[in-house]
Every structure is written in structure tokens, then in C-alpha cells.
Amino acid sequence: MVARHTGEDVVVDGGRGELVLFWAGFPLLGAGLGAGLTTLSGWIAGLPWFPFQGLFELLDRWPDERAYPIGAGLGLLGGLALAVVAVRDRLTVTVGHRTVRLHRDGHGRDVARADVAGVFVDGEALVLLDTAGGELAREKSDLDTERLREAFTRQGWPWTGQDPHRDAYRRWVEGLPDLPPGADALLRARQRALDSGHDAETRELHGELARLGVVVRDEGKRQYWRLVPGPPPR
């Protein structure tokens, strides 16, 4: 992980080494895996449960000088596809004195220092809290916690180290009486999205719950919730 200075701002991202890993390492690993599977194509073709049976049958019938380049090439393309996904999911955090920019997948979001009462890392997420106790941002990230702490504290942001409201969370089960109207239905829908791995829908429903004054955090496939102590943001 890298923290670098651009003028007065501090930028925290995975650095050039991470990009080299994505764009060179993943395709090379994919090519090697493709060549290895080509070597085993005859055995794999005999496994009825293994996917892409037709492809492995073809690779097994073709001569080596044709089968290995195709197998390695397909693996390389798979590695490139994985690299594209990894780069799109890469988070860059640019911390200034007055704003922080959270940039991912070609989109940036600015959060003003005046609106932030606390910053911390919760598991694999960078979290910014507002003055009412609600979440201004929760961004999934594998950035180094110490680098983030240094960047935010250097610029005078209120780094809390941990969630000051952690003890207020309760595990969600259907039909809880203390939730605002409509929140239980949203949590049910979010649980289905979480179980199915639909990340975009999970994030969207997280935002819908925030508008009702409900903050949600996940531990695996389990949802934990709390109410915003102050009025929810308008």
C-alpha cells in the first residue's frame, strides 16, 4: 500500500506494484493454469461433473502444438478479465484539509471535513460518520489501516480507530419491533441480495436504510443494525 503527497493532499492506494500484479501477474497466472489444465484435459474430459466438457474434449483430441497455445491463451484471457474486475474495484483515497475524495471504478465522491465526526476502518471497510452518528460513507477496501490513519490524522481529520457506536448494533432477525416502518422489508431484501452475492443491490439497499436512519454492517452473511442517535440526514 502506498501513501503519497500531491501538493497538500495525501493519496492512499495500492501503488504501482498492485497494478503490475493485476495487469501482468493475473494474465501470466491464468496462462499457466490454462496450460496445466490442457495437460490434464484427457482426465478432466472423463469427469462428468466438471464444467466445459466440450472444450476439454477438443483439447484432448487436438495435437499438443495446437492444444497448448489455445489452452494457455484462454487462461490468459481469463486472467485479463480478472484484472479488469480487480482494477475497477480498486479504491483510491485522496485526503485534503477540507475534503476527502473516494475514487473507484471511474467515479469519485467528495466528503467535506465539516460534515465528518469520525473516521475508522471496520473490518474491510473505510467508514466516515456524520455528526448525528450516521454513515456518510462505507467503502470496501483492502488499503492498509495504518496508512489511512496517517493520511487522515496528518490532515487533521477525527480518526477514532474504531466504531464509537459498535456496542449499539444488534443482529437482524425478521420481525423486530424497534425498526422504523419499512426498514424490516428493506433488510429482508438486502439479506436476499447478500446471500446471492449481488453487491450492487446490497449497497443500494444500504443507502435506502440509511435514509430511514438505520445503519447496517455485515459480518459474513449476517446483518447487524443500529439506529442513528440523531435525526437521519435529509
Nearest CA-CA partner of 169 in 209, 129, 228, 120:
228
Tell me phi and psi for residue 101, to 5 degrees. Answer: -110, 130
- Cell 440523531 appears where? 230
pLDDT at 8: 84
Which residues are CB-neighbours of 48 under 8 A, at least 6 positions away? none
Q: Are 152 and 117 in contact (CB under 8 A)?
A: no
Domains of the chain: 12-88 (no CATH), 103-163 (3.30.720), 165-234 (no CATH)
Q: Are 200 and 208 in contact (CB under 8 A)?
A: no
Q: Determine the Cα–Cα distance for residues 157 and 96; give it in Å rounded to an integer.
A: 9
Tell me phi and psi for residue 115, to 5 degrees. Answer: -90, -5
Q: List the 99-104 sheet strands across, edge first.
A: 2-6, 9-13, 92-95, 99-104, 107-112
pLDDT at 229: 81
Q: List the 170-171 sheet strands across, edge first.
A: 170-171, 222-227, 214-219
Which amino acid would we find at residue 172?
W
Which amino acid would we find at residue 132?
A
Nearest CA-CA partner of 143 in 9, 7, 5, 18:
18
pLDDT at 168: 95
125-141 pLDDT tens trace: 999 999 999 999 999 98
Q: Are 218 and 171 in contact (CB under 8 A)?
A: no
pLDDT in tens, the chain (234 residues): 555 655 589 999 998 888 899 999 999 999 999 999 999 999 999 898 999 989 999 999 999 999 999 999 999 999 999 999 988 889 999 999 999 999 998 888 999 999 999 999 998 899 999 999 999 999 998 899 999 999 999 999 999 989 999 999 999 999 988 999 999 999 999 999 999 999 889 999 999 999 999 999 999 999 999 999 865 445
The pairing of beta strand 116-122 with beta strand 92-95: unpaired
27-38 pLDDT tens trace: 999 999 999 999
